[in-house]
Amino acid sequence: MTPDQYFQAALTHHRQGALKEAERFYRQLLAIAPQHVHGLHYLGVLCHQAGRHDEAISLIEQAIRLLPQQPDQHNNLGLALRAAGQLPAAIQQFERALQLNPQDADLWLNIASSYHVTADLQAAARCYRQALQLAPHEAEIRQGLLQVLQALGNQAQREGQAALAADFCREAISLQPHDAALHYNLGNALRELGMAAEAAACYRQSLVLAPNDADTHNNLGNVLRELHFLPEAIACYEQALKLNPKLYHARVHLAHQRQHICDWRFLDDDVKQIRQWVAEIEHAQVSPFAFLAMPGTTAAEQLRCAQQWTRNRYQTLLQQPPLNARNTARPKKAQLHIGYLSGDFRLHPLASLITEMLELHDRQVFRISAYSYAHDDETVARKRLEAAVDQFVDIRSLSLAQAAQRIHEDGVDILLDLTGYTQASRSGILALRPALSKPHGWASPAAWAPLLLTI
């Protein structure tokens, strides 16, 4: 038999799934023609299919050395390398294949899924999008992109980048509009952005698709409360508790909103139950702001409630090394740098309470910075706040970690959170401890420790 005859026989058996027979013919071919490019390549593919990835890598690499401009060879080498756990090398081969054949959707899918495995979600999304342009109806591509978008949205939400989270959710919904969880997540992001009416529409759409989801009923209640539709909000909390009686935060919200409409019928029982949860169930998410308004609660209970709330919401951030631990020494300075953090630097009651105080700081002693994640409403109140401080920094576009890093790099000695546990709070910034633990040049801890408002 000639080399071509051996190759055709091997290829026929290979296509029929008769791998043992195919391998026998490939090896007979290579015995008489050891540099037969396609024989090396396809024997490598067969070894990859058989789970012998190291052997596959060696064979396909030999084929590439003989014929380096074949995209299929680079693609198959990438698959073998990926199967062998060599992901960076696999990605390099997929990139080489794409240079040779950029219109191949399968290549874009292979590199996208490889980036996905390495958790490079941005690169994975970019490659999945390119694959989808070339093969818009390919289910595997759509599913891969959907998973990456969900992961990116969740990551952005955890990092406090609600606008980015909303963008990822919208793109995911365009791929799978009947997924209730996607509408729910978009609602959460829009609520963080202060877009309560739009968030309510998302939660309602989610409930059309999944009407028995207790969390969605609860969150719809939250935005209806913010829109001042209190009876409707109360009905949502009641429905959430029917579906899940152990949804602790729904019971807290329900009790608090009943207080707002002066419905005292259930207050004693509600407060008794919620106080018991604070005492006994650490993972119960009891809003410190709502708990503060409940009659009979003690200062010790309120502290415990706030501590548990912080641990539940910011556990991951609290486990990170605090930023202020990195600074063992800083030069002494004439002024103590105080930073004020708020989502209410705008036309808001806070402006009436805080602006004059900011203006009256002794600038010989203090340097004052404001870190704002409030929307610029372009009011006189906002402009006066901006003028009242030495530095006004808009941190809306920054993640929690980025905002904390900016505050730390600015050399803030004391950071005060003016928003606390109210709506749209970004207290996670303080969980990263961006302010100095002790201002240098201020000898007595008693002089500054009470002002260090960190979590």
Task: Give me 72's structure tokens.
Answer: 């299929």
- Alpha-carbon separation of residue 242 from 144, 213, 273 (angstroms): 36, 11, 17
Rounded Cα distance between 146 and 328, Å, is: 45
- Which residue in this structure is represented by tokens 């006189």? 380
Q: Which pTM was predicted?
A: 0.83
Identity of residue 401 = A
Q: What is the pLDDT of residue 417?
A: 94
Q: What is the pLDDT of residue 316?
A: 86
End-to-end CA distance of the chain: 80
Neighbours of 62 (CB within 10 A): 17
Rounded Cα distance between 252 and 426, Å, is: 21
Identity of residue 307 = Q
3-state secondary structure of 342: strand
Rounded Cα distance between 167 and 386, Å, is: 30
- Alpha-carbon separation of residue 320 from 273, 317, 323, 434 (angstroms): 34, 5, 9, 12
Q: What is the pLDDT of residue 450?
A: 32
Q: What is the pLDDT along the chain (455 residues), one digit of tens a residue?
A: 899 999 999 999 999 999 999 999 999 999 999 999 999 999 999 999 999 999 999 999 999 999 999 999 999 999 999 999 999 999 999 999 999 999 999 999 999 999 999 999 999 999 999 999 999 999 999 999 999 999 999 999 988 899 999 999 999 999 999 999 999 999 999 998 889 999 999 999 999 999 999 999 999 999 999 999 999 999 999 999 999 999 999 999 999 999 999 999 999 999 999 999 999 999 998 999 999 999 999 999 999 999 999 999 888 888 888 888 766 556 677 899 999 999 999 999 999 999 999 999 999 999 999 999 988 999 999 999 999 999 999 999 899 999 999 999 999 999 999 998 887 788 899 999 999 855 444 443 333 333 333 32
Rounded Cα distance between 240 and 250, Å, is: 7
Taking phi over 0 as left and psi of -120 to 50 as alpha, with beta for the rest, 348 belongs to: beta
Please say whether the beta carbons of 305 and 393 come within 8 A.
Answer: no
366: phi then psi, degrees, rounded to nearest 5: -125, 140
What dihedral do alpha carbons 243, 151, 430, 186 form, nearest 10°?
-50
Q: What is the pLDDT of residue 444?
A: 39
Task: Give me 270's structure tokens.
Answer: 């509600």
Q: What is the pLDDT of residue 328?
A: 53
For each of the domains in the chain, give its residue range(s) and CATH number, in order of start.
3-147 (1.25.40.10), 212-319 (1.25.40.10), 330-451 (3.40.50.11380)
Rounded Cα distance between 176 and 126, Å, is: 18
**Beta strand spans in 121-274 (E):** none
Please say whether the beta carbons of 146 and 176 come within 8 A.
Answer: yes
3-state secondary structure of 140: helix
Please say whether the beta carbons of 278 and 296 come within 8 A.
Answer: no
248: phi then psi, degrees, rounded to nearest 5: -55, -45
Rounded Cα distance between 239 and 378, Å, is: 40
Task: Give me 23's structure tokens.
Answer: 């391998």
Q: What is the pLDDT of residue 445?
A: 36
Please say whether the beta carbons of 179 and 149 come within 8 A.
Answer: no
Sheet holding 366-372, edge to edge: 391-394, 366-372, 336-342, 414-417
Q: What is the pLDDT of residue 421?
A: 87
- Which residue in this structure is represented by tokens 């979600």? 121
- Which residue in this structure is represented by tokens 């631990």? 325
Beta bridge partners of 338: 368, 414
What's the chain's length in residues?
455
Beta bridge partners of 339: 369, 415
List, in order, residues 6 or more apart from 136 with CB less than 8 Å away: none
- Determine which helix (DSSP H) or strand (DSSP E) holds 417, and give its type and residue range: strand 414-417
Q: What is the pLDDT of residue 437?
A: 56
